[in-house]
C-alpha cells in the first residue's frame, strides 16, 4: 500500500511513452493499422489506470484525478465503483499501515496484528504479501516461519512456492527442529525424490539443535516417512530393509552422538524402539523381534514403570499368545514400583477369565506377597521421611536459638561499648573544654547532618558514614580559628519534610566538586524551575557528596528522577525521591527488576574496556536488542558485567546458546538468563537500639584500628577502670542510669590540680 504507487506509475510512464511516440504518425495510418498499433497501445494505458484504481494504495485520489485529466472520454461507472470499493478497503488497512510506519524495527507485534487481519479477510495474495513483508525484518523468528509455512501447506498448496518457503525457513532458523520436520513432510506431500529427502534429513542432523529431544523428533519424522514407503504385503523388500537399518542407525546415533553431547538420551521412554517393536509385531508379524526390542526397553530403566509393562502386555495380547502375556505380567508384578496395585489387578483379571485354578493360585500368592512388601517399604519410607522432617525442625530450632543468643550477645556488647564510650566522654568533658561550649558544638554537627531517613538512605547507597572524617587534634583555640576560616554558610535545617513531594535527594557526587549548587543547577533546570539547591557540608566546610534539590512543581521532581545514574564528573549521580525512611522503612528506590526475566541476559567476564556499542554489535547478531546496561561501581568504573534485553524469550535463549563461552578481547564471557539473587533486607534501626532505648552508634575502625579521637588522652594512672574490668571484678555491669549518676558525682579537678598530680614525686 505504501510503495505500490511508484511501481504502477513507472509502468504507466513506460506505456504512455510508447503512445506519445506513436501519436505523430497515427493520422497517416490506415484504420486497420491504427487500430493494431496506436489504439491498442492507448487501451493498455487505460487498462493500467483501471487496474491501479481497483487496488487500495496510498494517494489514490491523485491517481483518479490524473486519470480524469488524461482520459478524453468520461470514466466508466464500473471503474468508479471499483475505485470507491478500493477506497473503503484502504480505510480498513490504514490503521495497520500507520502502526507499522510509527513503530520501530523489527515491529513483530504490529506485523502479527496485520497478519491476523489479513487471515480473517482471506485474500491469498495479500496474506502471502504481509508474511513476506514481516519476514524481511523478522527472518530469525521461528514462530513466524512456522505460521507462514503452515498457511501455505493448508491453503495455497503450490509446490514450488511451498518448498521454497520451507527451504528459506530452515536456512534462516536451522536450530528449530519443527521447521525441518515440516520441510520433510512438505517434500513427501509434493512427491519429491527420495534421495533429495534423505539429503535434507542429513542436513537437519548437522544443523545443531539445542536439545536432545530435538534429535529424537527429527528421527521420528524421518522414520515415519520411511515407514510410509514400505509395502508390508511383501515379506521382504528394499524399502523394509532400509527402514530397519534406519531404526538401527537412529538408536546408535542417539546413544553415541546425542548422549555424549547432552549427557542424556533425549528418549528416556524409548519411543523410537517402541515404534519399531509395534511395526515388527503388527505390520511384519515378527513377534520374536518385537520381544527382543521390548526386552531392551525394559533393561534401560523402564522396568519400574507400570505403563511400560502394560504397553508390552497389550502388544502381546493383540499379536502374541497367552503364555507370553502371563510371563510379562508376572515380571511386571515383581519389578513395578510406581503403581504395583494396577499391574496386580490386570494379572488377576486375566487369570480370572483365561487361567486355570493353578494359575489363579499362583497369581494370588504373588500379588499378595508383592503388595505386602510394597506396603512395608512405604511404611518405612514414611517413617524415614517423618524422621528427616523432625531432624530438620530440630535443626531449624537450633539455628533459631543460636541466632537469638548471638543477637543477645551482640546487644550486650553494644551496651558495654556504649557505657565505656560514655565514661570516656565524661573524662574528656572533665579535662577538656568547658561544658558551656559543648551544646553549641552539638548543634553545629546536627545542623550539618541530613534527617534520619536520608542519613540511612545515604549510608545504604554510598557508605559515607562508614568512613571517619579526619579530625584536627590541635589545641581548642586553633580548632576554633581553623573552623572559622573554613566555615561556610551551612543551612540550619537541611530539608523541610513537608516539601518531600517537590524535592529529590542527590548523592554519590564527587567530594572534590566545587560550588555544587552552581554546577548542578543547569542539569536540573532542564527538568523544571528549581527553587533551591542545598548541598551539605561537613563542620570543616568540606562538601559531603550529597544535596537536596527543591523544585517549584511536583512534575519537575518526578522528571528529575530520570537523571538517576547520570555521570557527573566521572561518577554516576544517584537521584532518588526524598522520603524519610524512619517513617517509611519499606520504601525502596532500586529501580531494576530482581525477578527472573526470560527475555534478558546477564553477561559476566567482559573486559573493562568493552563499550556499550561493541557489546550491542555482538548481541544484535542473535536477535533484536532493546536495551543494554553496563554495570559500574559507585565511581563509574565498569565491573565487567552487563544486562542485555532482547525483544522476546526465543531470541534470548538463542543468544545464550551462541554467546556463552565466547571470547571478547581475550576474555571468555559467561551468558545466562537474568535471574538476580534475592536482595538482603537492610537491618532496621530498631535492631541497633540498646536495652535502655538509646541508639547505639557503630564501631567504625579503619585500616589502622581506632581513630585518633577514640583514644583516651588521660595518663594510665588517672584512668578510671573500664566497664569491662569492673564487671569482671564486681559482677554484672550497673544499668546506664547508675553509671551516669556515678560519673556526675565524681569530684571535678581543675588544670592546676592536674599539674600538681604530674609534679608529685
Give 30-60 as a 3 state SS string.
CHHHHHHHHHHHHHHHHHHHHHHHCCCCCCH
Mean pLDDT over 75-85 rounds to: 93
Contact in structure between 116 and 130 (CB atoms under 8 Å): no
Highest mean pLDDT of the ranges 10-19, 305-314, 530-539: 305-314
Q: Which fold has domain 268-403?
A: 1.25.40
pLDDT for 661: 86
Q: At 677, is the pLDDT very low, low, confident or very high (cuts 50, 70, 90)?
A: low
More confidently predicted of 47 and 712: 47
Give the rounded percent of residues in the chain with a pLDDT score beyond 70.
76
404 neighbors 412 (Cβ within 8 angstroms): no
User: What is the reported pLDDT for 383?
Assistant: 92
| pLDDT (0 to 100) of residue 680 | 53
Average pLDDT of 681-687? 48
603 to each of 598, 618, 645, 647, how far by Cα in Å?
Answer: 14, 12, 11, 17
Q: What whole-number distance in Å separates Cα of residue 671 and Cα of residue 666?
A: 16
- Higher-confidence residue: 745 or 760? 760
Coil, strand, or helix at residue 577? strand
8 Å CB contact between 239 and 226: yes
Distances (CA, A) of 319 to 247, 278, 281, 316, 356: 21, 10, 6, 5, 22
**Predicted confidence band of residue 719 (pLDDT cuts 50, 70, 90):** low
- Give the pLDDT of residue 169: 97
Residue 717 pLDDT: 55
Helix, strand or coil, per DSSP, at residue 531: strand
Q: Is the pLDDT of residue 269 over 70?
A: yes
Answer yes or no: same fold for 498-591 and 593-676: yes
In this predicted structure, the answer to whether residue 133 has a pLDDT above a threshold of 50 is yes
What angle is formed at CA 247 by the lines to CA 246 and CA 251, rounded to 5 degrees? 115
Q: Mean pLDDT over residues 217-228, rounded?
A: 96
Report pLDDT for 36: 65
| Higher local confidence (pLDDT), 200 or 691 | 200
Task: Compute the C-alpha angle 713/719/724, nearest 5°.
Answer: 110
Q: Of the ranges 230-239, 264-273, 744-753, which one carries the lowest mean pLDDT score?
A: 744-753
695 — pLDDT class (breaks 50, 70, 90)? very low
How far apart CA 345 and CA 336 sit, in angstroms, is 13
For 593-676, give the CATH class: alpha beta
Per-residue confidence band for 386, with pLDDT thresholds at 50, 70 and 90 = very high
- Are 562 and 574 contacting, i.e. CB atoms less than 8 angstroms apart? no
Cα 264 to chain centroid, rounded:
26
Confidence grade of residue 313 (pLDDT, cut at 50, 70, 90): very high
- Is residue 475 helix, strand or coil? coil
Taking residues 729-737, report their average pLDDT.
Answer: 43
Over residues 134-169, the pLDDT tens digits come to 999 999 999 999 999 999 999 989 999 999 999 999
pLDDT for residue 325 is more than 60:
yes
Q: Which CATH architecture has domain 498-591?
A: 2-Layer Sandwich (3.30)
Q: Which residue has the higher pLDDT, 457 or 324?
A: 324
C-alpha cell at 304: 519400574
Determine how β-strand 543-551 pairs with β-strand 638-646.
Answer: unpaired
d(CA 58, CA 1): 6
Residue found by looking up cell 573486559 in the block: 607
Residue 73 clears pLDDT 50, i.e. is over it: yes
Supply the pLDDT for residue 33.
66
pLDDT at residue 226 above 90? yes
Q: Which residues contact 637 (CB under 8 A, 6 or more apart)?
A: 608
Q: Domain residue spans in the chain? A: 2-99, 268-403, 498-591, 593-676
- pLDDT at 628 > cutoff 60: yes
pLDDT at residue 9 above 80? yes
Q: Measured between alpha carbons, how far is 182 from 176 in angstroms, rounded to an integer?
A: 11
Predicted confidence (pLDDT) at residue 740 exceeds the cutoff of 70: no
Question: How many C-alpha atoms does 162 have within 13 Å on its Cβ side?
Answer: 21
CB 596 within 8 A of CB 675: yes
Q: What is the pLDDT of residue 452?
A: 41
Give the residue with greater pLDDT, 203 vs 578: 203
Least Cα distance to 527 among 507, 491, 502 occurs for 502
**Would you state the pLDDT for residue 471?**
38
Kindly indicate the confidence band of residue 477, based on its pLDDT and cuts at 50, 70 and 90.
very low
Give the pLDDT mean for 693-709. Answer: 44
- What is the overall mean pLDDT for the chain? 80
Return d(Cα 42, Cα 267) in angstroms, integer. 69
The pLDDT assigned to 497 comes to 75
How far apart are the C-alpha atoms of 414 and 526, rounded to whole Å?
A: 48
Mean pLDDT lowest among 38-42, 216-220, 482-486, 499-503: 482-486
pLDDT of residue 310: 95
For the segment 356-373, the average pLDDT, to the nearest whole number, is: 94
- Give the model's confidence band at 593: pLDDT under 50 very low, under 70 low, under 90 confident, else very high: low
What is the phi/psi pair of residue 636, to 5°? 85, 10
pTM (2 d.p.)? 0.53
Res 168: pLDDT: 96
Amino acid at each position: 500500500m505504501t510503495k505500490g504507487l511508484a511501481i504502477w506509475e513507472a509502468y504507466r510512464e513506460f506505456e504512455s511513452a510508447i503512445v506519445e511516440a506513436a501519436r505523430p504518425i497515427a493520422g497517416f495510418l490506415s484504420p486497420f493499422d491504427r487500430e493494431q498499433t496506436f489504439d491498442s497501445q492507448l487501451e493498455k494505458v487505460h487498462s493500467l489506470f483501471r487496474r491501479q484504481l481497483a487496488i487500495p494504495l496510498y494517494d489514490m485520489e491523485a491517481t483518479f484525478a490524473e486519470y480524469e485529466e488524461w482520459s478524453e472520454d468520461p470514466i466508466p461507472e464500473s471503474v468508479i465503483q471499483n475505485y470507491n470499493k478500493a477506497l473503503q478497503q484502504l480505510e480498513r488497512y490504514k490503521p495497520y499501515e500507520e502502526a507499522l510506519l510509527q513503530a520501530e524495527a523489527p515491529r513483530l507485534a504490529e506485523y502479527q496484528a496485520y497478519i491476523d487481519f489479513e487471515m480473517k479477510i482471506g485474500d491469498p495474495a495479500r496474506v502471502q504479501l504481509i508474511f513476506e513483508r514481516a519476514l524481511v525484518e523478522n527472518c530469525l523468528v521461528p514462530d513466524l516461519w512456522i505460521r507462514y509455512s503452515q498457511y501455505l501447506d493448508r491453503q495455497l498448496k503450490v509446490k514450488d512456492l511451498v518448498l521454497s518457503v520451507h527451504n528459506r525457513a530452515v536456512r534462516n532458523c536451522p536450530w528449530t527442529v519443527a521447521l525441518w520436520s515440516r520441510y520433510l513432510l512438505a517434500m513427501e506431500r509434493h512427491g519429491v525424490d527420495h534421495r533429495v529427502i534423505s539429503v535434507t534429513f542429513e542436513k537437519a542432523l548437522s544443523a545443531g539443535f539445542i536439545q536432545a529431544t530435538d534429535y529424537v523428533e527429527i528421527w521420528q519424522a524421518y522414520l515415519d516417512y520411511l515407514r510410509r514407503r514400505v509395502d508390508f504385503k511383501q515379506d521382504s523388500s528394499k524399502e523394509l530393509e532400509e527402514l530397519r537399518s534406519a531404526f538401527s542407525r537412529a538408536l546408535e546415533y542417539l546413544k553415541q552422538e546425542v548422549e555424549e553431547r547432552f549427557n542424556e538420551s533425549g528418549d528416556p521412554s524409548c519411543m523410537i524402539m517402541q515404534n519399531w517393536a509395534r511395526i515388527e509385531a503388527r505390520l511384519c508379524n515378527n513377534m520374536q523381534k518385537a520381544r527382543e526390542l521390548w526386552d531392551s526397553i525394559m533393561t534401560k530403566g523402564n522396568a519400574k514403570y507400570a505403563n511400560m509393562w502394560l504397553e508390552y502386555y497389550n502388544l502381546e495380547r493383540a499379536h502374541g499368545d497367552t503364555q507370553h502375556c502371563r510371563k510379562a505380567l508376572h515380571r511386571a508384578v515383581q519389578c513395578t514400583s510406581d503403581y504395583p496395585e494396577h499391574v496386580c489387578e490386570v494379572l488377576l483379571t486375566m487369570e480370572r477369565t483365561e487361567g486355570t485354578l493353578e494359575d489363579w493360585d499362583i497369581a494370588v500368592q504373588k500379588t499378595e506377597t508383592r503388595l505386602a512388601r510394597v506396603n512395608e517399604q512405604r511404611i518405612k519410607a514414611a517413617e524415614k521421611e517423618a524422621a528427616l522432617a523432625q531432624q530438620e525442625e530440630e535443626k531449624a530450632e537450633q539455628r533459631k536459638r543460636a541466632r537469638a543468643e548471638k543477637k543477645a550477645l551482640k546487644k550486650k556488647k553494644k551496651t558495654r561499648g556504649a557505657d565505656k564510650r560514655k565514661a570516656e566522654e565524661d573524662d574528656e568533658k572533665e579535662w577538656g573544654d568547658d561544658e558551656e561550649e559543648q551544646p553549641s558544638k552539638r548543634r553545629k554537627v546536627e545542623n550539618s547532618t541530613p534527617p534520619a531517613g536520608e542519613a540511612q538512605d545515604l549510608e545504604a547507597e554510598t557508605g559515607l558514614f562508614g568512613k571517619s572524617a579526619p579530625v584536627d587534634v590541635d589545641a581548642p583555640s586553633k580548632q576554633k580559628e581553623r573552623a572559622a576560616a573554613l566555615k561556610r554558610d551551612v543551612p540550619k535545617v537541611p530539608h523541610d519534610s513537608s516539601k518531600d513531594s517537590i524535592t529529590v535527594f542527590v548523592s554519590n557526587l564527587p567530594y572534590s566538586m566545587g560550588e555544587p549548587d552552581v554546577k548542578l543547577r543547569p542539569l536540573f533546570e532542564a527538568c523544571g524551575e528549581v527553587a533551591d539547591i542545598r548541598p551539605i557540608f561537613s563542620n570543616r566546610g568540606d562538601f559531603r557528596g550529597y544535596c537536596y534539590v527543591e523544585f517549584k512543581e511536583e512534575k519537575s521532581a518526578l522528571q528529575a528522577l530520570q537523571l538517576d545514574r547520570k555521570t557527573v564528573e566521572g561518577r554516576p549521580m544517584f537521584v532518588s525521591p526524598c522520603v524519610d525512611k524512619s517513617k517509611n522503612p519499606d520504601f525502596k528506590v532500586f529501580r531494576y527488576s530482581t525477578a527472573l526475566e526470560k527475555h534478558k541476559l546477564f553477561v559476566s567476564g567482559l573486559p573493562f574496556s568493552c563499550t556499550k556499542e561493541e557489546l550491542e554489535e555482538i548481541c544484535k547478531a542473535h536477535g533484536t536488542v532493546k536495551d543494554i546496561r553496563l554495570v559500574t561501581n559507585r565511581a563509574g568504573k565498569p565491573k565487567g558485567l552487563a544486562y542485555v534485553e532482547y525483544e522476546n524469550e526465543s531470541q534470548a535463549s538463542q543468544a545464550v546458546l551462541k554467546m556463552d563461552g565466547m571470547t571478547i578481547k581475550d576474555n571468555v564471557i559467561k551468558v545466562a538468563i537474568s535471574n538476580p539473587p534475592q536482595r538482603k533486607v537492610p537491618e532496621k534501626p530498631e535492631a541497633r537500639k540498646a536495652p535502655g532505648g538509646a541508639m547505639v552508634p557503630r564501631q567504625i575502625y579503619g585500616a589502622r584500628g581506632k581513630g585518633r579521637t577514640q583514644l583516651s588522652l588521660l595518663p594510665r594512672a588517672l584512668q578510671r577502670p573500664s566497664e569491662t574490668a569492673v564487671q569482671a571484678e564486681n559482677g554484672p555491669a550497673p544499668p546506664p542510669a547508675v553509671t551516669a549518676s556515678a560519673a556526675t558525682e565524681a569530684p571535678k579537678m581543675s588544670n592546676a590540680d592536674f599539674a600538681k598530680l604530674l609534679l608529685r614525686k
